[in-house]
Amino acid sequence: MTKVEEADASLRRDLGRFAASPRVARLLVGAAFLAAYVVLEWVSFIHEYKGVPVTPWNPGLGLVFALMIIAGARYAAVLFAGALLAEIIVLRSNLDWWVVFGIATAIAAAYGGMAIVARRWFQLDPALSRLRDIVVILTAGGAGAILSALALSLLLMADAKLDFADALVASTPLLVGDIIGIAVGTPLTLRFLLYPRDEARALTEHLPSFAVFAITVLALLWLILGIEGVNGSHLFYLLFLPAMVAAVRHGFDGACIGLATIQLALVGVLHAHGYSTAEFTEFQILMLVLTATALIVGVVVSERRAAERATRQMAALLREKGADAADAARHNLVSGMASAVAHEINQPMTAARALARSAQQILTLPEPDLPRAQANLARLIDQIDHVGAVVRRMRELLRRGRPHLSTTDIGDTLRDAILLVRADAGAADLVIDLDIPDNLPPVHADRVQLQQVALNLIRNAIDALKGAGVENPEIRVAVRLLDGPARVEVQVLDNGPGIDEAVSSRLFEPLTTSKHEGLGLGLSISKSIIESHGGVLWLESAKPGATEFRFSLPLDNPQSM
């Protein structure tokens, strides 16, 4: 379903609440818009030329054209009936019946056809959320106005009511009136019918600023039209200021409301001052230029704000997904280390059980060796403490929430990481060599996150060495203290098969992996963790037999922390 069809269905649903059937709802819609068209024709009719209405302001047309865009060209029947009633009731035309019928037919056919073109050919979004939609509205309205004015002129000349010169005089205000009616009335009507209710309630908060806007417009119109001896059209550009302010401050909706306010005030003032058709048309041409400019500015502002909102939402979604991915990576890491954890816990628990039985047997002897029992109990407590440390490390690794920054011993962090992967390394028959200098200063970091980075790099090395057929597979983890600036650098080196150049160039991008079952998130997350600590993570070497990753951390507390 297209956006136009969705808008049509939404309108029918809303109106269907007051009707027993969809057909009755459509009849109610048609009757309401027909009544509004006739009333607006009566209110806006000011000038005529040889029996032809030439007031260059046709708000009813803009209203019904919006209905045809939303609900389909079948509502051209409303425009046909409205044009007939306007000729009979409002204008009290003395034209022949076939001319009146032809005028109504020409108007309905021209604008109904343009509504079809806008809907089907250009896939117009009735919410007018893009600049192209405004261009389509103005183009379709202008084309319909040209066709309608041409048809009316030909009909009136055929009836000998007007000659060619009269047709040129009458067609200009007719053309301007239809275009300005659509340019001002159609966007406002579309936005009114389709505006989200929650946003409409938010828009009411700006009523005081709209009141100030209306007062400013009236004051400027008094200045433009009230100064004697000055052609008001020369000062019309002053109205661009409030129109642009409304468009920039409130976007497309502000432009629509502001333009409607300016148009109504302008028509009222021109009518009150008794301006002629030619002068009225001159002001309406300027108003048309103002309308097109304000609508374009307003929709561009709204598009930019929508893009900014979408960017913020996407950034928030990416942060959320990043956090979920980090969590998934931690859980995946822990799942892969299940055997290692079982091994780490099983050894001290077996030793603790043996020491407990030994102490029990010693204490049951007639002359128990109390120093020996006490020594066994002390070793038993050490083994239990070791089990507790393993469990605590795993619990911290699964911990969620913001990083806990503190002074961290990078050496102890690396030793704990190696302890967690010792079983996997033993199963792969490889050696992990740890080289940590003495008196290494602490770093200011989240210990669990640094451990996650170290685990990811070491496990990647283990996975690369498994089944690679390397003689004497080995992983070397080393720490160096560097100056200028003062930092700690950690190196993870293996003698595996290396990394393909095509993969290494984008190794730290999300979803990039060389492992069959890898998620491609580990290195990306690790890089983010190190960078959040003010450090750098990089691939030092991708060569076979000398694959090396490094990361460095500053010894001073980063400002961003």
Check residue 557 and report its DSSP letter: P
Structure tokens at 66: 């919006």
Distance in angstroms (rounded) separating the CA atoms of residues 258 and 242:
8
Residue closest to 461 by CA, chosen among 425, 412, 414, 509:
425
How many residues in the chain? 561
Verify that 269 and 125 share a domain, yes or no: no
Verify that 135 and 12 share a domain, yes or no: yes
Verify that 560 and 431 share a domain, yes or no: yes
Q: At 431, which CATH number?
A: 3.30.565.10
113, part of any domain? yes
Helical H segments across 337-435, by residue range? 338-364, 370-397, 410-420, 422-427
Which sign, positive or negative, has the C-alpha torsion 79, 85, 90, 92? positive
Q: Which residues pair with 405 in a beta bridge?
A: 446
Helices and strands: H and E segment counts in the chain: 18, 9
Distance in angstroms (rounded) separating the CA atoms of residues 154 and 176:
18
List per-residue pLDDT tens for the chain, 561 residues long: 555 455 555 555 554 454 446 777 788 888 999 999 999 988 888 887 776 778 888 999 999 999 999 888 889 999 999 999 988 888 777 777 888 898 899 999 999 999 999 988 888 888 888 899 999 999 999 999 999 988 888 887 876 666 777 777 778 888 899 999 999 999 999 988 876 655 555 566 777 888 888 899 988 888 887 765 556 677 888 899 999 999 999 899 899 999 999 999 988 888 888 888 888 888 899 999 999 999 999 999 999 998 898 889 888 887 887 777 667 666 665 565 555 556 557 656 776 787 788 888 888 888 888 888 888 788 778 778 767 766 775 666 555 445 567 888 999 889 888 877 776 777 778 889 999 988 888 888 888 778 878 888 888 888 888 877 788 889 999 999 988 788 999 999 998 888 877 777 777 775 555 554 444 556 777 888 888 888 999 988 888 888 899 999 998 654 444
Distance in angstroms (rounded) separating the CA atoms of residues 66 and 53:
22
Residue closest to 193 by CA, chosen among 137, 238, 253:
253
Check residue 496 and report its DSSP letter: S
Distance in angstroms (rounded) separating the CA atoms of residues 148 and 106:
6
The residues near 474 (Cβ < 8 Å, ≥ 6 apart) are 430, 431, 432, 433, 494, 495
Residue closest to 418 by CA, chosen among 407, 429, 430, 434:
434
Verify that 85 and 13 share a domain, yes or no: yes
242, part of any domain? yes
The residues near 53 (Cβ < 8 Å, ≥ 6 apart) are 45, 47, 91, 174
* pLDDT tens string 507-528: 777 555 555 444 455 677 788 8
122, part of any domain? yes
Is 551 within 8 Å of 443 (Cβ atoms)?
Answer: no
Among the three residues 162, 194, 226, which one is the final residue of a domain in this structure?
Answer: 194
Distance in angstroms (rounded) separating the CA atoms of residues 323 and 336:
20
Structure tokens at 273: 């001052």
Verify that 224 and 262 share a domain, yes or no: yes
DSSP state letters, 301-340: HHHHHHHHHHHHHHHHHHHHHHHHHHHHHHHHHHHHTHHH
Verify that 19 and 154 share a domain, yes or no: yes
Q: How far is CA 225 from its chain centroid?
A: 45
Distance in angstroms (rounded) separating the CA atoms of residues 443 and 407:
5
Verify that 100 and 49 share a domain, yes or no: yes
Check residue 259 and report its DSSP letter: H
Verify that 185 and 222 share a domain, yes or no: no
Q: Is 255 helix (H, G, I), strand (E, B) or coil?
A: helix
454, part of any domain? yes
Other Cβ atoms less than 10 A from the Cβ of 401: the count is 5
475, part of any domain? yes
Distance in angstroms (rounded) separating the CA atoms of residues 281 and 310:
42
Distance in angstroms (rounded) separating the CA atoms of residues 218 and 211:
11
Verify that 68 and 170 share a domain, yes or no: yes
Among the three residues 159, 194, 229, which one is the final residue of a domain in this structure?
Answer: 194
Verify that 218 and 150 share a domain, yes or no: no
Task: Find the angle CA(182)-CA(186)-CA(189) to the nearest 5 degrees.
Answer: 150
Verify that 279 and 178 share a domain, yes or no: no
127, part of any domain? yes
375, part of any domain? no
Count up the domains in the chain and report the number: 3
DSSP state letters, 19-32: SSSHHHHHHHHHHH
Is 459 within 8 Å of 421 (Cβ atoms)?
Answer: yes
Strands 405-408 and 431-435: unpaired
Verify that 179 and 224 share a domain, yes or no: no
Check residue 440 and report its DSSP letter: P
Check residue 238 and report its DSSP letter: G
Range of the domain at 204: 200-308
User: What pLDDT was estimated at residue 294?
Assistant: 94
Q: At 147, which CATH number?
A: 1.10.1760.20
The label of the residue with tokens 């996975």 reads 463
157, part of any domain? yes
As a three-state string, the secondary structure of 62-126 is: HHHHHHHHHHCHHHHHHHHHHHHHHHHHHCCCCCCHHHHHHHHHHHHHHHHHHHHHHHHHCCCCC
User: What pLDDT was estimated at residue 330?
Assistant: 62
* pLDDT tens string 468-505: 778 888 999 999 998 878 899 999 999 888 887 777 77
Torsion of CA 356, 361, 364, 365, to 10 degrees: -140
Among the three residues 194, 217, 238, which one is the final residue of a domain in this structure?
Answer: 194
